[in-house]
Structure 1
Amino acid sequence: MRQIKISRSITDRQGESLERYLGEVARIPMIDPDEETMLADEIRKGGKKGERAKDRLVSANLRFVVSVAKQYQHKGLSLTDLIDEGNIGLVKAAEKFDETRGFKFISYAVWWIRQSILQAIAEQGRMVRLPLNQVGALSKINSEIDKFEQKNHRQPSTEELSDITNIDADKIETTMNADMRHMSIDAPFSDDDSNSLEDILPSQDKTLSNEVEKESMDVDFKDVFNHVLKPREVTILCKSFGMGCQEEGAEEIGAQMGLTRERVRQIKEKSIDKIRRSGYKHVLAKYLG
């Protein structure tokens, strides 16, 4: 595979060079859905035109790699290395993306970016060595996760993995928790975790300081909302948490939508529960501290 030049331009750079790269990435024009579809089609056709299309699709999404990479600092790799690894995942996503499935590219790519980073941390950073009796189970689990993700554009739940592999759900969780490639993806949403989805939804006094991270977060949340919720539910959550608009209370939202304050509260809680139970919850897990 030909290496995307910009994805390697940050290798072994520190300080001012890294800051310069981050500035360059932030200035790269983003692409609209129509161009994204066109580029994905060209990539699939291959040839020189396909390579140019891949360069364009990857370059336009490099800012999101930075956002994801920052979530994994202080785990054994420098930010420069994390971005490098994330860019490798981004290139893989560009090569495998199927625009006909109805997903935005970045919603699909974020899994590949994160997996590439986590695998690098496991292999080059603070590697956790698995007991021999878990190695075989892990290999089978990883294989089935890859197959499921390719087919469904999301990760399987523990219950789904258990059904597919015939491995007990508790053993799957124990094995995956021991494998650092899967850290921080599902754990924050487990039954015994104190963090809730509502805890990580953005509000006026809880915004990300970095504009690139904020942009990435908005894309992730809105994509999940639109895939899981009905239009009215999306509107209520966006207004409740200030997603692309001024944050408003239940009474204000109700007055605008012809609903009682209590009904707005019920729809909001139901919507949050729907997201928690959906296959897309892992997309939001990276914003947990």
Structure 2
Amino acid sequence: MLIRFFITLLLLSQGAMAQERQPSHCIALAEGAPGIEYIVPANFSAVAPENVRIHYISHASFLIRSHGGLNIVTDFTGFTGSAPFIPDVVTMNHAHDTHWTAHPDPAIPHVLPGWGEFGEGIDHRLDLGEVLIRNVSTDIRSQFSSVETEGNSIFVFEMAGLCIGHLGHLHHEPDAAQYAALGRLDVVMAPVDGGYTLDLPTMTRALKRLKSSIVIPMHWFSLFALDDFLSGMSDEFAIVEVGGPSLEVSLDRLPGRPTIMVLRPEWLSAP
């Protein structure tokens, strides 16, 4: 009887864990966008249920924080600010050393490089219950103007029913298979420098095809570059100056019209 009792408890606990992550709709048709309303700015504190906090740290690094307290840092360079902070997951890309570190803190439980052996790419599918993290590989320009096949990763974070994508150091428009693998992204962080990654016309075309509810510009080196990007997107996207580094987003409060949310980067500091 005791053995049967413990087996029952184990099965019940596994069922509860399997239900921790609200299912997302990444691979739904791009046209099937949920219609809805609005976003709430937030700071580095607790996250409301069924919400995700996104904090722009610097350059291409963001802190993505779940309601359950999972902390993910994108394009991790080894430094996030003065806050004593060890993320649960870091993702990295290696087109430039401002997007990765060769020496991540060994205390970080999950370190996900966006590349593998030269030209071979890498596949990630990390299921942490509350968050599923996967990647779609793209090519990058390597030294001497050659190409490193699958040297960059677009990371996708499925959490709270949302699909959140980070384009990394994107050097070409995704092809049909890559668009299909990404699915529909509710939120996308996009490099808008206009040269080191994609030229602005190509980036604009890619973002309009992705049809994300929220676009967060990153990897801009001047306000002029940012303004050029915003001008090119203003015909189809609303533009919102959030007025800080963070926003909190949930599936039932996405903007009804595709919207660019402009965050101002800020290092993480102790509360």
Q: TM-score, normalised by structure 2?
A: 0.25
- Considering fraction of residues, name the structure with more helix: 1
Q: Which has the higher contact order (CA 8 A, sep 6+)?
A: 2
- Considering fraction of residues, name the structure with more strand: 2
